[in-house]
Chain A
Amino acid sequence: MRIAFASGKGGTGKTTFATNLAALLAGRGVTVRLLDADVEEPDCHLFLHPQVERREPVDVLVPEVDEAACTGCGTCAEVCAFKAITVIGTTVLAFPELCHSCGACSLLCPEGAIHEVGRETGRVEHSVVELRGRASFPLVTGVLTVGEAKAVPTTRATMTTADNASAEVVLVDAPPGTSCPVIEAVRGSDLVVLVTEPTPFGLHDLRLAVEMVRALGLRCVVAVNRADLGDDRVRRFCAAEGIEIVLELPNDRRLAEAYARGDLLIEAVDGLETTLTAAWERIAAAAQAGRAAS
């Protein structure tokens, strides 16, 4: 089964839950894979200290013009919906950072003067996390190259690596927000765990995240971090919407400090393993129920 951790608002604890649950499940002998799909700011590795086994570049296709064959007719500029290619006089100028790799220019060039070449915009790192004891599990991390605007190709490459089918449980750490990179990361999940906090920002962004999940036809449950902070509007919202709350973690300075240091909470804070185990049982049951219903 595939479970994605998402949130409208950033900094609510997606990475914390994803990394700790992955370690917890691996420790109990479940074959688990963790995909870090927050490619703009991938942070799972900071808590898991994995050994990187290989890195694969993420290339996107961009046009390359054969100047000898080009007649400067301007068709490429006319058909590009993204203004990524322009013709000045008879010289063709491409702006690869604006290109969406749709292939229109190369397909429609009457001279066949444009072919597409790969341009690296990110990479996928395949690594192994060795836990205390003998358990280990794979971590796949998408890393967007700094200065690149388009995250989606790297997100997609991270989500579609081989071997996902071989794991009993695939956990996905999604980026914050509700737009394209998030959608790419949560699509195909059996369940989305929306992580929030009980503040006005947390609630407002949770509403947006719930709308997004529903627009994609997915199911969700909620985990509330720093649950004793703020007010009870998140709880009331979940009750009214019929969304199960699978976990509430208190605003405990020990948790915040362990996180700040980069420690796994299940190793650093007593009792956390029990709390997360109970949450996992709820998550797994909700994901199973979703599968059965669909």
Chain B
Amino acid sequence: MTPPRQLVVISGKGGTGKTSVVAAIAALAGGAVLADCDVDAADLHLVLQPELGAEHGFSGRRQAKIDSEACTDCGRCAEVCRFAAVLGSADDGYSVDPIACEGCDLCARVCPADAITMEPVVNGVWMVSETRFGPLVHARLGVAEDNSGKLVTLVRNEAHSVAEERGLPLVIVDGAPGIGCPVIASLSGFDLVLVVTEPTVSGRHDLDRVVQVVRHFRLPFAVCVNKADLNPELSERIQAEAVAADAAFVATVDYDLEVTHAQVNGTDVVTHGGRAAAEITKLWESVSALLAGSREGRALDA
């Protein structure tokens, strides 16, 4: 069996409509695994209304714990910690700031009294839920937790396994905003990166940065200018720049209040209907043609 194709939708700037586009594409794809890799603020389930699957704990790091009985208050741990995560003083005793600790183990290794142990921290949960369009792998990062990159990788890998187990041909990933670790963790090995932007000065600026990242990893990408009619001139400029940067194709979707109404009603915009739904349907046709092309390309390579 050919491995499932992988499509990731990212944006650079937040709030451009990534998640709405992913939900709409899910409705059109007819049998795909969905992965919500915006683990900081996972929203896809709000419009896909899945039957929630069992929660699995995620431990992305370990955290130092000081045994106050064994501790001799020598302060060596505080001295070596680069993250200012050891609080206290020789007079008051020492403890670990759970938010600042990065789990590097160095304090435990240098403690002359062996008073420090490293304990796994459960900093998120992930689950495989069932939506009307297919399985959804999603996660919830604990509040004020880091390691979202590791959780993103886990969600991606699980989605890929689910697709293989169930024989589904496509994985659609809702990515995180920005260009840092959660985005980079969600990028490798994709058949197509769809970047959703908007015709604003920030949308254009952030698109430029995220496209640099995508090109850095040599991935094929396409661009969707959402709310294109908000500033037609800037929209055309962004489209021209995307073509010049070797985007596989560029699509536009005009501002449509029905996208918000769909979300308020807890559904995707294709099911809800409206002008944007028709434009996203056209977008999906281009995406699926490209993905089919990438499949043939793979088959030839192999």
A148 vs B216: C-alpha distance when bound (angstroms): 11
- In the complex, whether A115 has a CB less than 8 A from a CB of chain B is no
Q: Find the B residue at minimum CB distance from A226.
A: B260
Given B11, B105, B110, B234, which contacts A260 in the complex, CB threshold below 8 Å? B234
Q: Find the A residue at minimum CB distance from B206.
A: A41
Given B103, B181, B203, which contacts A150 in the complex, CB threshold below 8 Å? B181
B133-176: which have CB < 8 Å to A? Answer: 141, 143-149, 176
- In the complex, whether A96 has a CB less than 8 A from a CB of chain B is no
Number of B residues near A (Cβ < 8 Å) is 62
- In the complex, whether B179 has a CB less than 8 A from a CB of chain A is yes
Q: Are A260 and B231 in contact (CB under 8 A)?
A: yes
- Give per-residue flags for A37-66: 1 if the beta carbon is below 8 A from chain B beta carbons, else 0: 000110100110000000000000000000
> A217: shortest Cβ distance to chain B, in Å?
10
> A180: shortest Cβ distance to chain B, in Å?
4
- Give per-residue flags for B24-62: 1 if the beta carbon is below 8 A from chain A beta carbons, else 0: 000000000000000011010011000000000000001
A107 vs B81: C-alpha distance when bound (angstroms): 11
Q: Are A229 and B260 in contact (CB under 8 A)?
A: yes
- How many residue pairs between the two chains, A and B, have CB atoms under 8 Å in the bound complex? 179
Q: Are A104 and B178 in contact (CB under 8 A)?
A: no
Q: Are A41 and B264 in contact (CB under 8 A)?
A: no
Q: Are B105 and A81 in contact (CB under 8 A)?
A: yes
A100 vs B150: C-alpha distance when bound (angstroms): 14
Number of A residues near B (Cβ < 8 Å) is 55
Given B15, B99, B263, which contacts A11 in the complex, CB threshold below 8 Å? B15
Given A10, A146, A151, A256, which contacts B213 in the complex, CB threshold below 8 Å? A146
Contacts known (A146-B216, A261-B231); A199 close to B263, Cβ less than 8 A: yes
Q: Are A79 and B109 in contact (CB under 8 A)?
A: yes
A256 vs B263: C-alpha distance when bound (angstroms): 20
- In the complex, whether B4 has a CB less than 8 A from a CB of chain A is no
Residues of B near A211 (CB, < 8 A) are 143
> A259: shortest Cβ distance to chain B, in Å?
6
Contacts known (A146-B212, A146-B213, A147-B216); A102 close to B41, Cβ less than 8 A: no
Given A41, A101, A231, which contacts B209 in the complex, CB threshold below 8 Å? A41
Contacts known (A40-B180, A144-B179, A146-B216); A208 close to B41, Cβ less than 8 A: yes
Contacts known (A41-B206, A199-B260, A201-B19); A148 close to B180, Cβ less than 8 A: yes
Q: Find the B residue at minimum CB distance from A11.
A: B15
> B20: shortest Cβ distance to chain A, in Å?
9
A102 vs B106: C-alpha distance when bound (angstroms): 7
- In the complex, whether B82 has a CB less than 8 A from a CB of chain A is yes
- In the complex, whether B200 has a CB less than 8 A from a CB of chain A is yes
Q: Which of A123-131, A170-178, A279-287 contacts B (4 or more CB under 8 A)?
A: A170-178
Q: Are A103 and B82 in contact (CB under 8 A)?
A: yes
Given A41, A101, A177, which contacts B205 in the complex, CB threshold below 8 Å? A41
Q: Find the A residue at minimum CB distance from B234.
A: A260
> A140: shortest Cβ distance to chain B, in Å?
18
Residues of B near A151 (CB, < 8 A) are 178, 180-181
Contacts known (A11-B15, A46-B202); A40 close to B179, Cβ less than 8 A: yes
Q: Are B102 and A102 in contact (CB under 8 A)?
A: yes
Q: Are B180 and A231 in contact (CB under 8 A)?
A: no
Q: Are B234 and A9 in contact (CB under 8 A)?
A: no
Residues of A near B13 (CB, < 8 A) are 10-11, 41, 43
> B16: shortest Cβ distance to chain A, in Å?
6
Given B99, B185, B201, which contacts A183 in the complex, CB threshold below 8 Å? B99
Residues of B near A101 (CB, < 8 A) are 82
Q: List 10 A-B contacts (CB under 8 A).
A: A11-B14, A40-B177, A40-B183, A150-B180, A151-B178, A151-B181, A176-B14, A212-B143, A216-B144, A259-B200
Interface set of A (CB-CB < 8 Å, partner B): 8-12, 15, 40-41, 43, 46-47, 79, 81-82, 100-104, 107-108, 144, 146-151, 175-181, 183, 199-201, 204-205, 208, 211-212, 215-216, 229-231, 256-257, 259-262
